[in-house]
C-alpha cells in the first residue's frame, strides 16, 4: 500500500491490518502521560485542504503529531491557490519542501489520484467530492468493531443523502468487504441511479428498514452540493427520514447510532438521539485519531518501525 485513495481498492487483508494496527495505536497511547510515539520522527505530513473540515483535518494533525511527525497545515483559502496557482504547481511546491505524506481534501472527485502522479510521497484521501472518504469508513468500521464486537454478519443501515455522500460510498465498499450487510435508505431522489452492481439492499421506508439493524448511520443532508430541490421541505424530510426517539425505539436494544458529522440537528437526527448513550458520534471522532495514526504509520514505514 503506497497511498490510501479509496476503500474499494483496499483488500480485506489490508483493511483488517489497518484495523488491527488501529487497536495497537489506541493501546499504545491511551493512558500515557505523554501520548506520543516516535515512529514518524523526522517525517513531514502536509494537510492540504481545499474544502472546509473540522474533524478530519484536526484528526490527521493530531495523529501525525502523536507519531512525532512534523505537520504543515495548508489551507487553500489563505494560499496562492487564490491567485490562480494550479493543483499541480501546489503539489510540486510541497514535493520540493520534502513532504513525506500529503493528506488532501478537494471538491473534485479524483484529485487525490491526480496528486499521486506529481509527488513521490504517500497520498491520503481526506475526502474528494462525492467520491470517497476512506479514513471515515475505517473509523466507522473500527467503532462498530469496538461497540458490536465485529463487523462480519452485522446489518448496517445507511440513511439519507446517499447521492452526495462520499462517506456512504466508502462505507458501502468497506463494510461489504468485511462481511456486513448494508441497507441504503432514503428518498428516491437522494439515491444514485446506477447502483445495480453495489452490494446493498435498497429501502425507502425508514421505520421498516430499522428492524433488525445492528447500526444505523445517519448522513448529513448536503445542501451545499445540491443544485435542485430533492425534497419539499426540511420538515418533510425530518418526518420521513429523520431519526427521532420514536424510531430509536424501533431498533434492537443493542443497536448503535452513528453519524460522521457535521450534523444537522433536528433534520436527519433529533438532538435527543444525537446525545443519547446509544450514539457513538464522539467515540467516532476519538477513534478517527487512532485510525489515522495507523494509516500514516503503515504508509510511511511499511509497518517496519514503532
> Which positions are annotated as active-site residues?
55-56, 83, 105, 133
d(CA 262, CA 152): 27
Please choose, out of 9-17, 26-34, 48-56, 71-79, the segment that lies near ligand CP by the rule CB under 6 A: 48-56
Tell which residue, 78, 138, 77, 80, has the closest CA to residue 107.
77
Strand 201-203's sheet: what is its strand order? 201-203, 181-185, 155-159, 215-218, 256-258
**Should residue 264 be labelled a site residue for ligand CP when binding is judged by CB under 6 A?**
no
**Should residue 56 be labelled a site residue for ligand CP when binding is judged by CB under 6 A?**
yes
**Should residue 77 be labelled a site residue for ligand CP when binding is judged by CB under 6 A?**
no
Among 14, 23, 24, 53, binds ligand CP (CB under 6 A): 53
d(CA 232, CA 294): 43
Nearest approach, Cβ of residue 209 and ligand CP (Å)? 23
> Which C-beta is closer to ligand CP: that of 49 or that of 297?
49
**Should residue 261 be labelled a site residue for ligand CP when binding is judged by CB under 6 A?**
yes
Touching ligand CP, residues 103-142 (CB under 6 A): 127, 136
User: Contact, 217 vs 156, CB < 8 A?
Assistant: yes
**Should residue 171 be labelled a site residue for ligand CP when binding is judged by CB under 6 A?**
no
d(CA 164, CA 167): 9
Local structure of 201: helix, strand or coil: strand
Binding site for ligand CP (CB under 6 A): 53-56, 127, 136, 260-262
Known binding residues for L-aspartate: 83, 166, 220
Amino acid at each position: 500500500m503506497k497511498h490510501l485513495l479509496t476503500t474499494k481498492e483496499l483488500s480485506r487483508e489490508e483493511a483488517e491490518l489497518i484495523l488491527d494496527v488501529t487497536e495497537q495505536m489506541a493501546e499504545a497511547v491511551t493512558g500515557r502521560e505523554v501520548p506520543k510515539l516516535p515512529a514518524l520522527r523526522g517525517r513531514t505530513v502536509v494537510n492540504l485542504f481545499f474544502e472546509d473540515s473540522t474533524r478530519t483535518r484536526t484528526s490527521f494533525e493530531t495523529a501525525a503529531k502523536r507519531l512525532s511527525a512534523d505537520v504543515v497545515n495548508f489551507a487553500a483559502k489563505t494560499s496562492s491557490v487564490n491567485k490562480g496557482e494550479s493543483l499541480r504547481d501546489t503539489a510540486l511546491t510541497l514535493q520540493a519542501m520534502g513532504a513525506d505524506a500529503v493528506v488532501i481534501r478537494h471538491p473534485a472527485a479524483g484529485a487525490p489520484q491526480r496528486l499521486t502522479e506529481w509527488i513521490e510521497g504517500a497520498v491520503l484521501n481526506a475526502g474528494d467530492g462525492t467520491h470517497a472518504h476512506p479514513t471515515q469508513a475505517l473509523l466507522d468500521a473500527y467503532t462498530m468493531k469496538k461497540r458490536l464486537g465485529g463487523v462480519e454478519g452485522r446489518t448496517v443501515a445507511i440513511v439519507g443523502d446517499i447521492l452526495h455522500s462520499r462517506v456512504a460510498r466508502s462505507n458501502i465498499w468497506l463494510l461489504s468487504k468485511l462481511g456486513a450487510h448494508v441497507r441504503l435508505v432514503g428518498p428516491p431522489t437522494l439515491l444514485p441511479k446506477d447502483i445495480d452492481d453495489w452490494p446493498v439492499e435498497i429501502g425507502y421506508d425508514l421505520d421498516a428498514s430499522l428492524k433488525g439493524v445492528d447500526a444505523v448511520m445517519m448522513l448529513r443532508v448536503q445542501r451545499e452540493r445540491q443544485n435542485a430541490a430533492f425534497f419539499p421541505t426540511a420538515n418533510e424530510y425530518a418526518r420521513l427520514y429523520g431519526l427521532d426517539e420514536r424510531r430509536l425505539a424501533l431498533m434492537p436494544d443493542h443497536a448503535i447510532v452513528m453519524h460522521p458529522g457535521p450534523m444537522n440537528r433536528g433534520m436527519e437526527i433529533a438532538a435527543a438521539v444525537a446525545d443519547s448513550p446509544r450514539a457513538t458520534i464522539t467515540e467516532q471522532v476519538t477513534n478517527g485519531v487512532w485510525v489515522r495514526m495507523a494509516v500514516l504509520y503503515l504508509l510511511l514505514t511499511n509497518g517496519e518501525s514503532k
